[in-house]
Amino acid sequence: MDSVIQQKLEVFFAKYKKQQFKKGEVLIHAGDAPSGIFFLQKGTVRMYLISRNGDELVLNLFKPVSFFPMSWGMNELPNFYYFEAMDDVIVCRAPREKVMVFLKKNPDVLLDLLSRLYRGIDGVLSRMAYLMAGNAYARLITELIIMTKRFGIAGKDGIAFAITEKELSSFAGMTRETVSREMRTLKAKNLVTFQKNILVVRSLDALEKVLIREV
């Protein structure tokens, strides 16, 4: 995010009280009318729904400096999703009406929001494509590429991010057994390592080439 846009967001939301949530606490419950627009200053928040079978289906992850839920904020659509802290989270919460006025007065911030929205849609479409294809290997690789680009930190051994196998299976929409099986294949090809809840993608370029071959 552009530093000028980030500063505008921080100045605007600084007028509102900070709130803290512990890992596992739910900021917004599905079916509830949100109490405002949350601006994420610290931590990660996951957006998910629960299927009829009781499975958690993760739809998006928010990191600083995101603000949500904007489907409700911009269109007043009912909220069907849970927003849960994945670690210790700090947010500011502003009234919806104030946020809408702020966005109208700051088209550069609105344009940045639109840009990030389309990047998110691209990830969702990729997930849908490989979900319909029914190829678990490709689905897992797609999820790893998306998460590496959004949360990965480059190091000498590759690009790393923290995640548990349970979280990865939830994000990919697969069972833990399936994820474990496909991860063994990726490890055997030396594309990733996965130890102590730290996943390292050796080469994002190599992973993307493997995905192209799976199409």
Q: Which residues touch 26 (CB under 8 Å, ≥6 apart)? A: 82, 83, 84, 85
pLDDT of residue 131: 62
Predicted local confidence at residue 84, as pLDDT: 96
Q: Which tokens hold the place of 209?
A: 């080439």
The type of residue at 163 is I
**Neighbour-count burial of 204, counting CB atoms closer than 10 A to its CB (0-12 exposed, 13-18 middle, 19+ buried):** middle
CA 134 to chain centre: 22
pLDDT of residue 159: 95
User: Mean pLDDT of all residues in the chain?
Assistant: 89
Please report the pLDDT score of residue 43 as a whole number.
Answer: 94
Of 113, 122, 68, nearest in space to 94 by CA = 68
Residues near 182 by Cβ (< 8 Å), separated by ≥ 6? 136, 137, 140, 174
**How confident is the model at residue 28, as a pLDDT?**
96
Angle of helix 107-133 versus helix 136-151 axis, rounded to 10:
160
Residue-wise pLDDT tens digits, 122-132: 777 766 766 66
Token duo for residue 35: 């109490």
Interatomic CA distance for residues 61 and 76, integer angstroms? 21
The answer to whether the pTM exceeds 0.75 is no
Ordered per-residue pLDDT tens for the chain, 215 residues: 788 999 999 999 999 989 999 999 999 999 999 999 999 999 999 998 887 777 787 888 898 999 999 999 999 999 999 999 999 999 999 999 999 999 999 999 999 999 888 877 777 776 676 666 557 888 888 889 888 988 899 998 999 998 988 888 888 878 889 999 999 999 999 999 998 889 999 999 999 888 877 65
Token pair 């479409």 is found at 125
CA quadruple 148, 151, 153, 154: dihedral sign: positive
pLDDT of residue 121: 79
- How many CA atoms does the CB half-sphere of 144 hold within 13 Å? 31
What pLDDT, on the 0 to 100 scale, is given for residue 103? 96
- Note the pLDDT of residue 132: 60
